[in-house]
């Protein structure tokens, strides 16, 4: 670190050193918001972009910018900075930082600040930004105005990569700038506005594990649960040991013959036969799985070869296992026909569910999710609340995955879904990105549709399941409160949050092509057609029958008996 006797650097020099340090740490994309105090960074980044060294993404809304950077890092595996000016602009990043913390994403907050002499004076747009994100960042460094930033920046970026004991995650670099905040008269920017494309930084591909079925041992009725981020390891493990696989959509393990699509509907009646559970990834979606994992009569193990950010050691009941042979030994040898019985139950439940969701002749959430799951290729982004659960219920496991599934399941919030998807689409630009989300999730992040003139344009279909409010609460205990009449219309107003927003007008305002689908045939036609690079597809459905539909599904599946096997 520089000593007090070192000459002070001008703000542009500090900014250029920071940008160089970012590039040396693998940064290839930067999301930036307009602001005066962050101007030195803006100019230095423009200089770097003009050489093709990195790519800038400009957003006017800091919350949108934060989630865009999150999506870029999710899809690339590289650190992605988001640059803001001082004041409330920095605070807008908290939701994205919290999500990044819980999923282990290298989001780099690069917050500009006023110099020390302006703090505590009432100076405009000046507040305490140091350690603003608290426990949600792996490191927070404060870079005083005029000092060489390289050492502190490298320290923070190293922390973002994680260690053998700490998972990767977000960091904050808070850097103060003094006037002047602009380049000198001698500086020039050649080729300003050049269209820069840069391939994403390749993610590490760990060596594929060779899972070996135990040659002998106790027969155990074991199932594999693949939660968010489990990956193909879970599929390979289930296949190698001949075990049923219960895979959430964002596990990216929901494929292959062992995957039981409607597993959650079967657990109510058939979970009692399960003796052991092997867990990959983070289970986030359903109460039946939570009950299964919490059952003290069932032994559970969690595949944990590396630190993860979503739980603290000692807080979960699963045995943590990092050795492949030990995990296989825990699972044991499956009894004869154990997998086949679950496969037959899954096929029978699928038939019942398909019949029920099609019986009304009208579109509903499960039907839409089934169609999107079946046709999506490239990138599939699922919003929180009902749509990801609908995909979990009706998304038929394929022999091989056609799309990589993304979802913000770190904290399962509805914020930032569109912005996250645009970041994913920009990183994996050669692939189509399909987004399925509910209307409330869409409206919460409608600003994510805004792309400035000349900004890189993603290839995206945003499919909005519009039921005029929040449907998920009707499927929870709040639905029973609503049906009882004890709180009159309070549940609808406070949880359903009804609205009459015209999505077509929003699409026009933001420059997206609008299409609508009113039935299954229209939906299939729209999804199979080509149009503008950015399309907003509205699917209007009702939600009054949703609670009853799920009850009918549960009742029908509960009639299924375990297949008799010799």
**pLDDT per residue as tens digits for the range 125-136:** 999 999 999 999
Residue 471, pLDDT score: 74
Please write the tens of the pLDDT for every residue from 429-484.
Answer: 889 999 999 999 999 999 999 999 989 889 999 999 999 887 777 777 887 887 78
Whether the predicted pLDDT of 320 surpasses 50? yes
Nearest in space to 19 (alpha carbons), one of 66, 53, 67, 52: 53
The answer on 75 and 35 residing in a single domain is: yes
Is residue 561 in a domain?
no
* Domain assignment of residue 255, yes or no: yes
Query: What is the per-residue pLDDT for 194?
Result: 44
Same domain, 454 and 536: yes
Rounded to the nearest angstrom, the gap between the alpha carbon of residue 441 and the centroid of all alpha carbons in its chain is 13
Q: What is the mean pLDDT of residues 298-319?
A: 95
**What three-state secondary structure class fits 370?**
helix
Q: What's the rounded Cα separation, in Å, for the pair 118 and 412? A: 39
If asked whether residues 68 and 152 sit together in one domain, one would say yes
- Which domain covers residue 538, as residue numbers? 361-544
pLDDT at 201 over 50: no
Q: With cut-offs at 50, 70 and 90, classify the pLDDT of residue 206.
A: low
pLDDT in tens, 250-292: 999 999 999 999 999 999 999 999 999 999 999 999 999 999 9
At residue 491, the pLDDT reads 81
Determine, yes or no, domain membership for 87.
yes
The answer to whether residue 201 is domain-embedded is no
Residue 120, domain member (yes or no): yes
355 in any annotated domain: no
For residue 169, is it within any domain?
yes
Instruction: Please say which residue of 345, 371, 399 terminates a domain.
Output: 345
Cβ neighbours of residue 480 closer than 8 Å, sequence gap 6 or more: none
Residue 191 has a pLDDT of 53
Measured CA to CA, the distance from residue 100 to residue 168 in angstroms comes to 9
pLDDT at 413 over 50: yes
Q: Are residues 235 and 375 in the same domain?
A: no
In this prediction, residue 218 carries a pLDDT of 80
Nearest to 333 by CA among 462, 457, 221: 221
The token duo for 33 is 């918001």
Same-domain pairing of 27 and 138: yes
pLDDT-derived band at 233 (thresholds 50, 70, 90) equals very high
- CATH number reported for the structural domain that contains residue 240 in this entry: 3.40.50.1220
Would residue 281 count as lying in a domain?
yes
Task: Please compute the mean of the pLDDT values over residues 528-532 and round it to a whole number.
Answer: 88
* CA distances from residue 196 to 6, 153, 420, 448 in whole angstroms, order as listed: 37, 25, 21, 22
pLDDT mean across residues, the chain = 92
Residue 3 has pLDDT above 70, yes or no: no
Q: Are residues 377 and 489 in the same domain?
A: yes
- In whole angstroms, give the CA distance from residue 132 to residue 129: 5
Residues 257 and 117 in one domain: no
Domain with residue 381: its CATH number is: 3.40.50.970
User: Distance between CA 444 and CA 419 in Å, rounded?
Assistant: 11
Q: Are residues 135 and 95 in the same domain?
A: yes
Q: Is 514 helix (H, G, I), strand (E, B) or coil?
A: strand
Residue range 26-73, pLDDT digits in tens: 999 999 999 999 999 999 999 999 998 999 999 999 999 999 999 999
Residues of the chain by 3-state class (helix, strand, coil), percent to 5: 40, 15, 45
Quote the distance between the C-alpha of residue 376 and its chain's center: 17
Cis-peptide into 186, omega within 30 deg: no
Q: Are residues 249 and 170 located together in one domain of the fold? A: no
Report how far Cα 524 is from the mean position of its chain's Cα atoms: 26
Judge whether residue 75 has pLDDT over 60: yes
Strand order in the sheet with 403-406: 403-406, 378-382, 433-438, 460-466, 534-540, 513-517
pLDDT-derived band at 96, boundaries 50, 70, 90 = very high
Domain boundary among 279, 312, 345: 345
Domain stop point among 321, 345, 369: 345
Give yes or no: residues 376 and 496 share one domain: yes
* Cβ-Cβ contacts under 8 Å for 494 (sequence gap 6 or more): none
Q: What is the model's pLDDT at position 267?
A: 97
Query: Do 253 and 155 share a structural domain?
Result: no
Rounded CA separation 499/496 (Å):
9
Strand partners, 83: 32, 110
The first and second tokens of residue 467, run together, are 């039921």
136 and 229 fall within a common domain: no
Residue 328 scores a pLDDT above 80: yes
Residue 34 is predicted with a pLDDT of 97
Write down the pLDDT at residue 196.
46
How many domains, the chain? Answer: 3
Q: Is the pLDDT of residue 200 over 60?
A: no
């Amino acid at each position: 670190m520089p000593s007090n006797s070192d000459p002070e650097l001008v703000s542009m020099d500090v900014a250029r050193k920071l940008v160089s340090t970012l590039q040396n740490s693998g940064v290839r994309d930067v999301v930036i918001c307009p602001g005066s105090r962050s101007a030195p960074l803006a100019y230095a980044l423009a200089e770097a972009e003009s050489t093709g060294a990195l790519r800038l993404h400009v957003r006017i809304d800091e919350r949108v910018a934060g989630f865009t950077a999150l999506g870029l890092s999710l899809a690339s595996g590289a650190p992605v900075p988001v640059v803001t000016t001082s004041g409330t602009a920095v605070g807008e990043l908290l939701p994205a930082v919290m999500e990044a913390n819980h999923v282990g994403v290298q989001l780099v907050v690069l917050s500009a600040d006023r110099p020390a002499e302006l703090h505590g004076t009432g100076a405009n747009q000046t507040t305490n930004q140091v350690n603003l994100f608290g426990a949600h960042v792996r490191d927070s460094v404060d870079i005083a105005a005029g000092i060489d930033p390289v050492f502190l920046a490298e320290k923070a970026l190293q922390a973002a990569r994680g260690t053998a004991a700490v998972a990767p995650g977000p960091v904050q670099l808070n850097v103060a700038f003094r006037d002047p905040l602009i380049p000198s008269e001698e500086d020039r920017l050649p080729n300003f506005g050049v269209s820069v494309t840069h391939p994403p930084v390749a993610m590490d591909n760990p060596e594929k594990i060779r899972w070996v079925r135990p040659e002998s041992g106790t027969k155990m009725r074991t199932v594999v649960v693949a939660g968010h981020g489990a990956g193909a390891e879970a599929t390979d493990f289930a296949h190698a040991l001949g075990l049923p696989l219960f895979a959430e959509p964002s596990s990216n393990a929901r494929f292959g013959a062992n995957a039981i699509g409607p597993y959650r509907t079967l657990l109510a009646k058939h979970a009692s036969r399960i003796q052991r559970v092997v867990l990959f990834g983070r289970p986030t979606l359903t109460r039946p799985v939570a009950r299964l994992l919490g059952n003290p009569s069932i032994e559970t193990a969690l595949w944990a070869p590396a630190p993860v950010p979503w739980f603290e050691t000692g807080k979960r009941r699963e045995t943590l296992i990092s050795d492949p042979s030990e995990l296989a030994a825990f699972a044991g040898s499956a009894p004869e026909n154990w997998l086949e019985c679950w496969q037959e139950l899954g096929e029978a439940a699928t038939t019942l569910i398909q019949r029920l969701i099609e019986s009304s002749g009208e579109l509903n959430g499960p039907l839409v999710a089934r169609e999107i799951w079946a046709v999506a290729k490239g990138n599939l982004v699922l919003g929180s609340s009902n749509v990801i659960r609908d995909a979990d219920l009706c998304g038929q496991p394929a022999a091989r995955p056609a799309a990589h599934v993304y979802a913000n399941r770190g904290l399962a919030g509805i914020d930032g879904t569109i912005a996250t998807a645009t970041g994913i689409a920009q990183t994996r630009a050669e692939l189509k990105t399909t987004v399925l989300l509910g209307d409330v999730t869409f409206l919460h992040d409608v600003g994510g549709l805004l792309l400035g003139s000349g900004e890189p344009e993603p290839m995206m279909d945003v499919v909005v399941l519009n039921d005029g409010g929040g449907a998920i609460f009707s499927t929870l205990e709040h639905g029973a409160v609503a049906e009882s009449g004890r709180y009159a219309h309070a549940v609808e107003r406070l949880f359903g949050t009804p609205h009459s927003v015209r999505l077509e007008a929003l699409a026009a305002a933001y420059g997206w092509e609008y299409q609508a689908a009113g039935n299954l045939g229209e939906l299939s036609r729209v999804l199979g057609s080509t149009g503008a690079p950015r399309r907003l597809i509205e699917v209007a459905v009702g939600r009054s029958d949703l609670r009853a539909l799920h009850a009918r599904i549960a009742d029908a599946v509960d009639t299924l008996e375990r297949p008799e096997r010799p």
